[in-house]
Amino acid sequence: MFIGYLQLGIQHILDIQGIDHVLFLIALVIMFDLKQWRQVFLLATAFTIGHSLTLVISSYELISVNSQLIELGIALSIALTAIFNLMSYKTGKLPNVSLSYISALVFGFIHGMGFSSFFRTLLGSESIVIPLLGFNIGVEIAQIVIVIATIIFSYLLTSYFKISKKYVIYSVSAIILLMSIRMILERI
């Protein structure tokens, strides 16, 4: 049972059909470099905490939100993160880490709601503890993979191809913003 939910958590994040989580994570961490790896992993963990809390709350049916509204909120969270990156690029200031943690936590709530109804139907009459633990560990594993890949990608571009970090941030964030705008338009 645990392994099945662990695999489901990994698939939930890495599924190409659900690219919204991948885009959000890339946008969230592209601003940081290899030296800031602890902060980046804490950001991913804040996102997982928000995601997990929402799953717990919704699994006990303490909250119910219109799924179309949540899907739009997910796309908006990606767009806002990309816009934040572009604004930081323009001003030349690195992101406020505390604000980034809060954003990751809040956007984790929103992203968690996007999966909550499906997760609730999977549970049926089962206890929530083992499935939720397995699922969230799977989510965290998948997020770590994405975070590491993003940091390595950025490092390679800046160190070996000598592309400026600002240009990497700008380019990746602009692409993610365009993709999120498309998502928003599809969900309106």
Write the pLDDT tens digit of every residue in 154-187: 999 999 999 999 999 999 999 999 999 999 999 9
Q: Whole-model pTM?
A: 0.89
Distance CA 80, CA 129 (A): 33
Q: How many helices (H) and strands (E) does the chain have?
A: 7, 0
Is the pLDDT reported for residue 143 higher than 80? Answer: yes
State the amino acid at position 140 in one-letter form: E
Measured CA to CA in angstroms, residue 111 lies from 66, 72, 82 at distances of 13, 10, 16
Specify the pLDDT at position 22: 92
- Name the residue ranges covered by the structural domains of the chain: 2-187
Q: pLDDT tier at 73 (50, 70, 90 boundaries)?
A: very high
Report d(CA 19, CA 110) in Å as an integer.
Answer: 15
- Please tell me the number of Cα atoms within 13 Å of 132 on its side-chain side: 20
Q: What is the pLDDT of residue 96?
A: 67
Query: What does the pLDDT look like over 8-67, one tens digit per residue?
Result: 889 988 888 779 989 999 999 998 888 888 888 888 889 888 988 888 887 777 887 888
**H or E, element range at 63:** none
Q: Report percent pLDDT > 70 for the chain.
A: 92
